[in-house]
Every structure is written in C-alpha cells, then in structure tokens.
Amino acid sequence: MENDIVILKKGDPRWPVGLNNLAQPPEAIFCKGDLELLDKPIVAIVGTRDSTRYGMEVAKKLAGQLAELGIVVVSGLADGIDAAAHAGAGAKSTIAVLGNGVNVFYPAANVDLQKKIASDGGLLVSEYPPSTKSNKFHFPQRNRIIAALSKAVIIVEADIKSGALITKDFALDLGLEVFAVPGAITSPASRGTNEMIKTASCACLTDVSDVLSVFGMTYTDAKANVVTQLSFEAKTVLDVLGREEIHFDELVDKTNFSPKILSTLLTTLEMDGILQTLPGNYYVSKLGK
C-alpha cells in the first residue's frame, strides 16, 4: 500500500470475483477508499455526459434510493449522469471506476467529487497505475470493469452512440440484467435508451423496485429490512417522525432523549440516508416516501 492505495490481484481474497468473468480481466486493480464496498450488492448507474435536467434528477433519485437500501452505486465519474449518480448515492455508498490513475483528477469539474469519494467512505478503482493520465482509449476499457463489479446496470440517458451503450454490451455479455430509463422522444439524450426499450434489448425501468427484483426483494421489504437493523433508539426516532416534518424541539419532547443524544441519532440517520434535515431545524423520514 502506498499513499492509501491498495493493489488487488487475482487470488487476493478481496479480489472482486465478477472480474474473472471478463474475456480480458485486468491484471490488477488499484483501489483508494473503503474496500468493504466491493463485498456489498452493487448496481451500476451510467449515462451520457450531455445529460438533461430530467436525466440528472432521475439518476440522483435512483442512486439515493438504492443507497438507502444498502446497495452500492458504481459509475464512471464522468460529467452528467455518472456524476449525478455518485452524488445521489453519497460518498459512503458509491464506487467510481476511473479511466486514469486514482491520483489523477479527471474531469476537472469532478475534482471535489473524486476527493470526497476517496476520503469520505467511498471507493476509487482503476486498472491503471496511480499517476496514469486519462486517455480516450481507457474509457471503453473502464466500462467493462463497471459492468463486472455490478449485479445489474441502469442506463438513465444515452444517445445512439453513447459510451454508456458499451457498458450495456459488456453487461449483456456477462449475463447481467440491464435496465433503461425511458425519456422524451424529442430528446437526443434519450434516443439510445428509448431504442433499447423499443427493441427489447433491455428492460424498461420506471421505478427503483424494478431493479430490486434482481436481488429478490421488493422496495417495501428492503426498507423494512433497513429498519430492522437499526438500534432501538434510532427506531424510536423514526416512529415519532412518521411521514411528517417535525421540529427538533418536538422530537426532544416526544422521544424523551436529551438534545445531545438526539442530535447524534439524527446525524447518524441522515448519514445513512434514512432521514433528511430541512430548513428551520425540521426533520423528515425518507422511508416510505
């Protein structure tokens, strides 16, 4: 390990087994961040750099919902849909597979995002040595690793010749389930995804529950499973919250927790993606939304 970078090679017990299914698996992968994410259920969310506001919103929402349920989101740290997926999942629930070394920052717009993923509990992965610069030939190769790490692939927006379709092809070759999000027929950003749905080469995704079927669970069951793993104190807070927005002072009164203990619980639940802090010191549960 050098500068917090771990090199994994085939035979290492931490080596992602999905990589072995590739026709040309990498010789090694360079990792920076939390390696434990590789052992969790993983779904890829990818798409065009030339995304629309609709595509960005969908990518963030899907990634956030998957992260709430303990599913890690992997993408390629490109502008557009990739960046939205990483941001929506949150640093602790995302893996970024790079077309350059983990110590090289690209693209420039995502420097802060790359730093946050590496330092705040996420994971950077690359088959290239740490100081390797970006190269246009690296990105199609990167896409095969995104697919191989995943249990399923979601394509949010992609034009007819989008690089995201390369990820789709790798995923289908690996026997993975691939989902496409439908978009406006007038939008170039959705021409590729709409065509995939039209030709039935991918499943149509309109709700996060569609992809959860890959893991043999429903959205309701998955959320219930998340709640059962919480502490008694955390469940108490969620029981009080319900689906309404509640002020901090009211939570103190209804839970009988001290302000200090309650603040700690609320911070933990927010970091786990289970509740949201609103302006004015109000809180609302994200479960059941």
pLDDT digits (tens, 9 = 90+) for 43-54: 999 999 999 999
Domains and CATH numbers, the chain: 5-216 (3.40.50.450), 230-285 (1.10.10.10)
Selection from 253, 7, 265 nearest residue 125 by Cα: 7
**What is the value of pTM for the model shown?**
0.79
The contacts of residue 209 (CB under 8 Å, 6+ apart) are 218, 219
- Answer for the pair 109, 139: CB distance below 8 angstroms, yes or no: no
Q: Which tens digits make up the pLDDT trace of 130-149?
A: 999 999 899 999 999 999 99
Which pLDDT score is estimated for 94? Answer: 97
The per-residue pLDDT for 234 is 84
Which of the 8 DSSP states describes residue 143? Answer: H
Torsion over CA: 63, 67, 71, 74 (sign):
positive
Q: What angle is formed at CA 237 by the lines to CA 233 and CA 242, rounded to 5 degrees?
A: 145
Q: Tell me which amino acid residue 247 is.
A: H
User: Which residues share a beta bridge with 5?
Assistant: 2, 32
